[in-house]
Structure 1
């Protein structure tokens, strides 16, 4: 569950530096605090050569898919400012600032870019990069604005040049308010609406190339977790564990982070800022993932060092069954809520219900270039699942004041049910044992 707890991670590490693609924030210089890497982590090696970037041809297909959805939604154009949707369609990674930057896809005609005049050189450098990433770069016009000019008036002019003077403009959902408000008032004859039917409509179903990157990200995370688990010792702090995991990710060549919660703090799904020390027999919860060519993993593992108690084992078994039930319910054509329903029934039938009493959050979220993206596996969501959609499967039972157990793996929808990218954790005492 990455993005939802990044504020905790940032607060616990004042020196943390934000990442453009990773949802959690990593403490800077973490590996420098570790004098000598444990053998299991030192044995990890770079896996970057295994990652195959998304091709220009695939991005061209995404453009055509977006045009089809624009027509279906009766939208005249799609406006994307920054973030993962921009990278998804164009390969451009552009930091968000107070200055308006946008890539615009008309329903018909060539895309165009609106940017500050002093950024034009950087834009063209990326448009002409080798290998190419920007679809239709040769016909993409760049409109520039000076600091004392309105970028929104320029956007309206560019849309007029594209033959769009009336109708609806879809705005990407994560556009900051100042930009979306400016777009909304760019022209009295144009209406700004949500662009989510187009962006989520394209991004929700993953291609084979995307699935390959996600499988690699998940496999990498699981191997990093296993190396960290082999390196843990009673007396370590939770911050030390996170530092070890950050160092492990550095060795694999993919940026990543994991939060670590211990004992009663594992009953808080998003963790705690309190310093914690690992003891034998206490639940330890690792959560988060890494990024491979822009695609994220999100895995949680709950375990103990030493012997687990009967109550801990009982709770683990229920959560394990709930995770398996959710996966089995994840068939193409089933409603999103059916996956949550299946897991919640197992937990409720075991005496940890009703509703959100101990399983306090939804079953899962879509995942891809964002740690959390459309659609969501939650009560009331009737959207049908489609083959190729990817989600987290993360049931949990949280007993406040004692402990919590969550198991989380990412998976893809198939006609016969969900297919996990990683094997389920078999037990609290041997969380990475092979089945």
Structure 2
């Protein structure tokens, strides 16, 4: 896909309108997904200030360290209409921010994950300005993906699916979780990702911890193994997919077979519930009801899903009580799990997109547990 389709110039204008409607005079965005969303620039976060200064009126300015100016100029940022200004090592960049604003400001929106030292420096440089979160306005722009963004997420889904399809090469009894994770990480890169964001390989009792990670524990025959993996594609958009495997040709525990069937039904019910107008909380309830009715309610320890895009976790969150209606273009995970402490666990995760008339799964590998 073309860069201008994925990072179109009209996002700058849309962000300005949204900021003005929220009562902000400007957005100040340091490296992170919001900056990349508006400019396409995958800026490196460091002690040297990089900041997009986006006043609701006036020229947008991208302030960068001098040594990083070539990277900024080579990025999609110039095509979005931003002016690039650089600062040399040893100089104070914050007067450049003040100058780029073009006049006094009463309220500014700061990047949600701006470093504290930069927040405080901007407070000193703009003592009369109230500081708010830029996410208050940008999340509403980012929550519904464009066709180009959905295509990027579909590409990411296919890339991570290709890694899951190779799992039989690495998951074998006697190998440690950590050894398997090294192989998986290499395959994530081979599949087209530019970075490996996480690799969870959780066998046997470790599978009962949703964010276990890896360990030096060897995988045993017949043990359930939860594999949750994801990375970032050259587009900037992320992948995330979980499957549960059984290794070594030995039969899995009987109770695992029983609750995996429940989990499989719950995940399918939640995916089927996705359509415009349904609330995010209702999708969570669709999965949770199946699991609760089967007696495993307390073993479902987390929300059903999270949005995904330029961040691995973003709006909308598929969690009980979230009354946000779904709309076409919203993309998020559907990942119920059942975790029996000290024994084993299972999770099934697909990324889906809400379509005008229903749902599309962006991960297409089978969701039944796979015996390797």
8 Å Cα contact 1:286-1:302 kept in structure 2 = yes
Q: Distance in 1 between matches of 2:88 and 2:24?
A: 25
Q: Deviations over 1:253-282 (max 9, x none)?
A: 324352211100000011155422122211
> How do 1:93-132 and structure 2 match up within 5 A?
93-115=42-64, 119-120=65-66, 122-123=68-69, 125-129=70-74, 132=76
Aligned counterparts of 1:155 and 1:325: Cα–Cα separation in 2: 50
Structure 2 residues without counterparts, runs of 5 or longer: none
CA distance, structure 2, for counterparts of residue 61 and residue 363 of structure 1 = 33
Q: What do residues 18-69 of structure 1 show as CA deviations (whole Å, max 9, x unaligned)?
A: xxxxxxxxxxxxxxxxxxxxxxxxxxxxxxxxxx353268420221221221
Distance 1:234 1:345 in 2: 35
Mapped pair 1:224 → 2:163? yes
TM, length-normalised to structure 1: 0.78
Q: After superposition, where does 1:270-419 map in structure 2 within 5 Å?
A: 270-271=211-212, 274-292=215-233, 293-305=235-247, 306=249, 307-353=251-297, 357-419=298-360
Root mean square deviation, CA, Å: 2.3
In structure 2, the partner of 1:190 is 129
Q: C-alpha offsets along residues 154-203 of structure 1, whole Å, 9 cap, x if unaligned?
A: 422331x2x4x132111110111121222233323321111113321222
* Residue 106 (structure 2) pairs with residue 167 (structure 1): yes
Q: 1:67 to 1:148 in 2, by over 3 A?
A: closer
> Cα 1:275–1:132, aligned 2, differ >3 Å: closer, same or farther?
closer
CA distance in 2, matches of 1:136, 1:225: 37
Runs of 4+ off more than 6 Å: none
Alignment of 1:184-263 (within 5 A): 184-254=123-193, 255-256=195-196, 258-263=199-204
Give, in angstroms, the shift of residue 143 of structure 1: 5.9
Residue in 2 that maps onto 1:264: 205
Q: Could you tell me how far apart the structure 2 residues matched to 1:146 and 1:429 are?
A: 55
TM-score with structure 2 length normalisation?
Answer: 0.91
Q: What SS does the aligned partner of 2:9 have?
A: helix
Give the drift of 1:310.
Answer: 2.7
Aligned equivalents of 1:59, 1:121: Cα separation in 2? 26
Unmatched tracts of structure 1, length 5 or more: 1-51
Secondary structure of the 1:55 match is: helix
Give the Cα–Cα distance (whole angstroms) in 1 for the partners of residues 85 and 267 of structure 2: 49
CA distance in 1, matches of 2:287, 2:80: 45
Cα distance per residue 1:311-349 (max 9 Å; x no partner): 111111111111112112222222221111111111111
Q: Is the 8 A contact 1:290 1:297 kept in 2?
A: yes
Counterpart for residue 144 of structure 1: 87
Aligned residues: 367
Instruction: Answer yes or no: is the 8 Å Cα contact 2:177–2:215 preserved in 1.
Output: no
Match of 2:17 in 1: 68
Q: Distance in 2 between matches of 1:121 and 1:247?
A: 31
Matches of 2:60 and 2:236, distance apart in 1: 23
1:266 and 1:403 in contact (8 A); partners too: yes
CA contact (8 A) 2:205 2:345 kept: yes
1:89 aligns with 2:38: yes
SS in 2 for 1:271: coil
Give the Cα separation in 2 of the matches to 1:419 and 1:57. 20
User: Which whole-Å CA distance do the structure 2 matches of 1:268 and 1:425 have between them?
Assistant: 23
